[in-house]
């Protein structure tokens, strides 16, 4: 127990400020106001791997580490698409995941946002389109925003999420 | 009577570890397997090739890991209209799924009774074999439903729980079918292949100089291991000697990959056992490492750090300093976290006895990599077949005997400390020197093997060159192929709610096995 307490005390608070993005550069406050206005509560995100190499997953997982502390900004990952407002889709869409991706999207309540993650999510990346790959996410479900990178780092993922929310406010 | 495989005619094969190739007939294919089984060899990989354009036939290859070398066995099937070969599954159960995958891609059959598709889920027709040379891999087909009959368990109160392919967390897709009584698991059957991206076919359109980029994306968490295996195969074929400095940097990148994954897994394992504190602190340590990677190597994840003939950048004096500081900070932190984990009664209660994989089962079924070592099976390429620079680093074999989640946790802790030792030794090498050498274009139809002990276990690339600097074929093998079936054993008798924890303690790659 002593070890646990001492580790907490010595680590302190590591959370960094929100990454900025050009359209809105939200502070924590404006972000939370936006979320409250649009959803009336925390933003719930669901991730679906539609055939990625698992590199993008690692960076999405990093969003929850103490430096980025996504949850601290009022954004949380949920276990079911039925609880989700936003879908992060990684990978080129493999033909074997096409149906599952469609069903996940259909299970989400409206309003919903979709972000295609990584070069693969954008256009299929190195995998392109083939007998086994449908290419980018937009070829299967509507996409609101794309975050490029291979894999994109957590700051650009975070920024992509904020940008998607901010663009809704502007509309 | 099994023939002695030592007596087989074999030729040496270009590779980064001692490697031989033996060509066998149909009968010897099985006899060799039996003899290898008796001498405790492990199967490393199995793949096929369509060589009808060259010699009118299909070929099947099996790579085996022997105590002192690797043996690749090749069998040419004369009947090209209905090609088949005897199944190896009686001697090497792990071969079963690999054989099903070979059938889905090439239409080469075995005498096995389980003919259910493994990679083909209805995304292309069952009479179309995408890896055949006369099939256009770019063509798209509509998905047709393809029923997949799971083996059912009958009895009073037995019911099934179907999970996936989409899981509840930020993880890869796969399907798990549990047969349970109450909470207790009577049987688990996995169905994988959801992330199949046709990588083998894509390799055929890549150039020798560019294939490493695709290799790095077979399983992103093992990018360094796969790209090194690719480069090693190409460099062996072209007899390229990498600069000594580049080899040290490759090993440094590989050990960083091991550290990053182990740190991430230890956090996730704590979390899955209800100890979120573990996730918070380990994910912080992992982030520190990734940021140091970005500063030292130019990227958080080293997907494009290795290139044929070397690496992309050397460490500056500053970066070297930063890495040494990182190790100095990481070591006491991990030591402290280990004692927190060890002393946490609730955590240990969940870890101990959960998902036990007995040593006998691990050996019988051909476990490999970290999972094998946590069940007391000593196998680590860095120790058994040390390729440069590991031949000068004296890596320690990390062994645990428990075979349960607790043992796999302890193995990760031990490997972190050993990796840190290796990293420090690598940084002691001479600074800033040549890091690249040109790799000549290889002649066509040369086979080379690259074999690297990644954090999960041995990853293998079997590269066959094509004409004009192209690739004729490239088979990539992830150790998850061998270890996925073992998870089905480790879960038996455990309760369903412990599955996420047990699964995480294996942490196998879906993308790596799906290809
Ligand atoms: S974008 Fe890169 S890291 Fe992400 S899934 Fe594709 S290949 Fe992997």
pLDDT category at B71 given cuts 50, 70, 90 is very high
Query: Residues with Cβ < 8 Å from A109, sequence gap 6 or more?
Result: A82, A85
Residues B82 and B206 in one domain: no
Q: Which of B80, B106, B132 is the last residue of a domain?
A: B106
Comparing CB atoms, the residue among B196, B213, B220 nearest residue A132 is B196
Query: pLDDT value at position A4?
Result: 86
Question: How would you classify the pairing of strands B184-191 and B306-307?
Answer: unpaired
Q: Cβ of B286 and A65 within 8 Å?
A: yes
pLDDT category at A22 given cuts 50, 70, 90 is low
Q: Cβ of A67 and B287 within 8 Å?
A: yes
How is A108-130 classified by DSSP, letter by letter?
SPSS-EEEEEHHHHHH-GGG-BS
Q: How far apart are CA B489 and CA B493, in angstroms?
A: 9
Position A6 pLDDT exceeds 90: no
Query: pLDDT value at position B165?
Result: 94
Question: What average pLDDT does range B168-172 have in this prediction?
Answer: 88
Nearest CA in chain B to A83: B168
Q: Cβ of B198 and A133 within 8 Å?
A: yes
Tokens of B381: 């390429």
Query: pLDDT value at position B490?
Result: 97
Query: pLDDT value at position B173?
Result: 95
Q: Cβ of B220 and A64 within 8 Å?
A: no
Give the tens place of pLDDT for each residue, A26-73: 677 887 888 888 888 889 999 999 999 999 999 999 999 999 999 888
CB distance B463 to B233 below 8 Å: yes
Q: Cβ of A132 and B170 within 8 Å?
A: no
Q: Between B440 and B164, whose confidence is greater?
A: B440
Give the tens place of pLDDT for each residue, A76-135: 999 999 999 999 999 999 999 999 999 999 999 988 999 999 999 999 999 999 999 999
Q: Mean pLDDT in chain B?
A: 95
Is residue B251 packed enough to be buried (19+ CB in 10 Å), middle (13-18) or exposed (0-12)? buried
Question: What average pLDDT does range B27-45 have in this prediction?
Answer: 95
CB distance A133 to B201 below 8 Å: no
Query: pLDDT value at position A111?
Result: 87
In the block, tokens 């890091």 appear at B435
Question: How would you classify the pairing of strands A75-77 and A43-49?
Answer: parallel
What residues of B are in contact with residue A4 (Cβ under 8 Å)? Answer: 277, 340
The answer to whether the complex's ipTM is over 0.90 is yes
Could you give the 3-state DSSP secondary structure of residue B389?
Answer: coil
CB distance A141 to A112 below 8 Å: no
Q: What are phi and psi of B47, to 5 degrees?
A: -155, 165
pTM of the predicted protein model: 0.96
Cα angle for residues B456, B473, B475 (degrees, 5° grid): 15
Residues B99 and B225 in one domain: no
Of A53, A92, A116, the residue with max ligand 1 atoms within 8 A of its CB, to mutate for a pocket test, comes to A53
CB distance B213 to B299 below 8 Å: no
Could you give the 3-state DSSP secondary structure of residue B58?
Answer: strand
The verdict on residue B132 lying in a domain is no
Query: pLDDT value at position B63?
Result: 98
Give the tens place of pLDDT for each residue, B264-300: 999 999 999 999 999 999 999 999 999 999 999 999 9
What residues of A are in contact with residue B198 (Cβ under 8 Å)? Answer: 127, 130-133
Q: Which of B143-157, B229-243, B317-331, B362-376 has the lowest mean pLDDT?
A: B143-157
Q: How far is CA B107 from CA A44, B48, B75, B110, in A?
A: 45, 10, 15, 10
Question: How would you classify the pairing of strands B70-77 and B19-24?
Answer: parallel
Beta bridge partners of B495: B184
Q: How far apart are CA B452 and CA B233, in angstroms?
A: 10
In the block, tokens 């869409």 appear at A93
Q: Cβ of A54 and B221 within 8 Å?
A: yes
| Size of the A and B interface in Cβ pairs below 8 Å | 174
Q: How far apart are CA A73 and CA B265, in angstroms?
A: 25
Buried b (16+ CB within 10 A) or exposed e, B79-100: eeeebbbbbbbebbbbbbbbbb
Tokens of B467: 């004409």
Disruptive mutation site among A87, A131, A139 for chain B (greatest number of B CBs within 10 Å)? A131
The CATH number, out of the four listed (3.40.50.10490, 3.40.50.12280, 3.30.930.10, 3.40.50.300), of the domain defined by the range A27-166: 3.40.50.12280
CATH number at residue B49: 3.30.460.80
The continuous run of DSSP H or E covering B102 comes out as: helix B95-106
Q: Which of B106, B141, B162 is the last residue of a domain?
A: B106
Q: How far apart are CA B19 and CA B65, in angstroms?
A: 9
Q: Cβ of A129 and B138 within 8 Å?
A: yes
The verdict on residue B491 lying in a domain is no
Sign of CA dihedral B214, B220, B224, B225: negative
Disruptive mutation site among A71, A130, A157 for chain B (greatest number of B CBs within 10 Å)? A130
For helices B317-343 and B244-272, what crossing angle results, to 10°? 30
Q: How far apart are CA B57 and CA B76, in angstroms?
A: 7
Nearest CA in chain B to A124: B197
The continuous run of DSSP H or E covering B348 comes out as: helix B345-351
Q: Cβ of B173 and A49 within 8 Å?
A: yes
Give the tens place of pLDDT for each residue, B336-362: 999 999 999 999 999 999 999 999 999
Q: Cβ of B277 and A58 within 8 Å?
A: no
Query: pLDDT value at position A21?
Result: 59
Could you give the 3-state DSSP secondary structure of residue B451?
Answer: strand
Q: How near does any CA of chain B get to the CA of A93, in Å?
A: 8
Could you give the 3-state DSSP secondary structure of residue B173?
Answer: coil
What residues of A are in contact with residue B119 (Cβ under 8 Å)? Answer: 96
Residues B101 and B218 in one domain: no
Peptide linkage before B494 cis (omega within 30 of 0): no
What residues of A are in contact with residue B276 (Cβ under 8 Å)? Answer: none
Whose Cα sits closest to atom 2 in ligand 1?
A150
Query: pLDDT value at position A1?
Result: 76
Most confidently predicted of B168-182, B420-434, B457-471: B457-471
From B277, B489, B240, B212, select the one nearest B364 (Cα to Cα): B489
Give the tens place of pLDDT for each residue, B99-156: 999 999 999 999 988 999 999 999 999 999 999 999 999 999 999 888 899 998 988 8
CB distance A3 to B334 below 8 Å: no
Q: Which domain holds residue B76?
A: 5-106
Comparing CB atoms, the residue among B135, B284, B509 nearest residue A54 is B509
**B438 alpha carbon to ligand 1 midpoint, in Å?**
27
What residues of B are in contact with residue A125 (Cβ under 8 Å)? Answer: 217
Q: How near does any CA of chain A get to the CA of B331, in Å?
A: 14
CB distance B36 to B71 below 8 Å: yes
Question: What average pLDDT does range A162-170 have in this prediction?
Answer: 77
pLDDT category at B7 given cuts 50, 70, 90 is low
End-to-end distance of chain B based on CA atoms, in angstroms?
37
pLDDT category at B2 given cuts 50, 70, 90 is very low
Position A169 pLDDT exceeds 80: no
Q: Cβ of A131 and B173 within 8 Å?
A: no
User: What is the CB < 6 Å shell around ligand 1?
Assistant: A 52-53, 55-56, 90-91, 118-120, 125-126, 150-151; B 217, 220
**Rg of chain B taking only CA atoms, in angstroms:** 22
Task: Provide the domain count of chain B.
Answer: 2
**A146 alpha carbon to ligand 1 midpoint, in Å?**
13
Nearest CA in chain B to A105: B166
Disruptive mutation site among B168, B193, B195, B291 for chain A (greatest number of A CBs within 10 Å)? B195
Q: How far is CA B112 from CA B97, B100, B108, in A?
A: 11, 9, 12
What residues of B are in contact with residue A133 (Cβ under 8 Å)? Answer: 197-198
End-to-end distance of chain A based on CA atoms, in angstroms?
51
Query: pLDDT value at position A9?
Result: 83
**B218 alpha carbon to ligand 1 midpoint, in Å?**
10
Q: Mean pLDDT in chain A?
A: 90
Q: How far apart are CA B97 and CA B100, in angstroms?
A: 5
Disruptive mutation site among B119, B143, B166 for chain A (greatest number of A CBs within 10 Å)? B166
Q: Cβ of A97 and B194 within 8 Å?
A: yes
Alpha helices, DSSP H, located in B183-222? 199-203, 211-215
The verdict on residue B134 lying in a domain is no
Is residue B25 packed enough to be buried (19+ CB in 10 Å), middle (13-18) or exposed (0-12)? exposed
Of A56, A117, A160, the residue with max ligand 1 atoms within 8 A of its CB, to mutate for a pocket test, comes to A56
Residues B406 and B280 in one domain: yes
Query: pLDDT value at position B1?
Result: 40
**B142 alpha carbon to ligand 1 midpoint, in Å?**
24
Residue extents of the structural domains in chain A? 27-166
* Ramachandran bin of B238, using left for φ above 0, alpha for ψ from -120 to 50, beta for the remaining angles: alpha
Tokens of B272: 């899955």
Nearest CA in chain B to A89: B170
Atom from ligand 1 closest to the CA of residue A52: 5
Query: pLDDT value at position A14?
Result: 86
């Amino acid at each position: 127990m002593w070890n646990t307490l001492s580790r907490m005390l010595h680590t302190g608070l590591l959370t960094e400020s929100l990454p900025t993005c050009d359209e809105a550069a939200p502070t924590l406050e404006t972000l939370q106001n936006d979320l409250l206005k649009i959803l009336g509560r925390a933003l719930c995100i669901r991730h679906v791997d539609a055939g990625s190499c698992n590199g993008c997953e690692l960076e999405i997982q990093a969003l929850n580490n103490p430096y980025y502390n996504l949850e601290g900004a009022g954004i949380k990952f949920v276990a079911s698409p039925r609880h989700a407002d936003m879908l992060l889709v990684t990978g080129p869409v493999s033909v074997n995941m096409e149906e599952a991706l469609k069903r996940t999207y259909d299970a989400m309540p409206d309003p919903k946002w979709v972000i295609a993650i990584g070069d693969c999510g954008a256009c299929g990346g190195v995998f392109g389109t083939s007998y086994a790959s449908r290419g980018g996410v937009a070829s299967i479900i509507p996409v609101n925003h794309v975050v490029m990178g291979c894999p994109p780092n957590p700051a650009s993922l975070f920024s992509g999420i904020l940008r998607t929310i901010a663009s809704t406010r502007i509309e | 009577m099994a023939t002695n495989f030592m007596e087989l005619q074999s030729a040496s094969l270009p590779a980064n570890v001692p490697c031989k190739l033996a060509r066998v007939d149909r009968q010897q294919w099985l006899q060799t397997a039996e003899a290898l089984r008796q001498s405790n060899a492990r199967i490393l990989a199995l793949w096929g090739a369509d060589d009808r354009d060259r010699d009118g036939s299909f070929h099947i290859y099996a790579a085996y890991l022997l105590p002192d070398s690797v043996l690749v066995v090749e069998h040419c099937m004369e009947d090209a209209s209905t090609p088949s070969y005897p199944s190896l599954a009686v001697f090497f159960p792990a071969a079963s799924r690999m054989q099903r995958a070979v059938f889905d891609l090439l239409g080469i059959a075995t005498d096995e009774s389980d003919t259910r598709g493994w990679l083909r889920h209805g995304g292309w027709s069952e009479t179309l074999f995408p890896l055949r040379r006369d099939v256009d891999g770019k063509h798209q087909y509509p998905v047709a439903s393809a029923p997949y009959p799971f083996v059912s368990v009958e009895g009073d109160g037995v019911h099934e729980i179907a999970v996936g392919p989409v899981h509840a967390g930020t993880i890869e897709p796969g399907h798990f079918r549990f047969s349970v009584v109450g909470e207790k698991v009577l049987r688990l059957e996995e169905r994988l292949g959801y992330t199949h991206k046709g990588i083998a076919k894509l390799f055929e359109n890549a150039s020798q100089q560019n294939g490493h980029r695709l290799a790095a994306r077979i399983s992103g968490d093992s990018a360094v291991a796969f790209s090194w295996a690719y480069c090693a195969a190409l460099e062996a074929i072209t007899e390229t000697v990498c600069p000594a400095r580049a080899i040290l940097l490759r090993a440094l990148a590989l050990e960083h990959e091991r550290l990053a994954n182990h740190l991430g897994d230890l956090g996730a394992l704590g979390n899955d056992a209800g100890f979120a504190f573990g996730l918070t602190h380990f994910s912080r340590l992992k982030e520190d490492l990734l940021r140091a990677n970005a500063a030292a190597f130019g990227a958080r994840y080293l997907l494009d750090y290795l290139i044929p003939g070397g690496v992309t950048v050397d460490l500056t004096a500053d970066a070297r300093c930063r890495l040494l500081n990182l190790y100095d900070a990481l070591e006491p932190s991990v030591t402290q976290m280990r004692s927190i984990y060890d002393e946490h009664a609730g955590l240990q209660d969940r870890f101990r006895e959960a998902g036990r994989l007995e040593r006998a089962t691990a050996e019988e079924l051909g476990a490999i990599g970290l999972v094998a070592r946590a069940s007391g099976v000593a196998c680590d390429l860095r120790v058994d077949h040390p390729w440069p620079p590991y031949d000068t680093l004296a890596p320690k074999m990390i062994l645990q005997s428990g075979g349960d989640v607790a043992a796999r946790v302890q193995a990760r802790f031990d490997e972190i400390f050993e990796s840190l030792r290796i990293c420090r030794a690598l940084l002691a090498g001479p600074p800033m020197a040549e890091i690249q050498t040109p790799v000549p274009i290889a002649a066509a139809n040369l086979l080379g093997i690259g074999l690297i002990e990644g954090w999960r276990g041995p990853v293998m690339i079997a590269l066959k060159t094509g004409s004009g600097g192209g690739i004729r074929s490239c088979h990539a093998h992830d150790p998850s192929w061998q270890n996925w079936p073992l998870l089905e054993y480790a879960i038996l008798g455990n309760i369903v709610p412990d599955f996420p924890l047990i699964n995480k303690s294996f942490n196998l790659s879906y993308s790596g096995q799906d290809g």
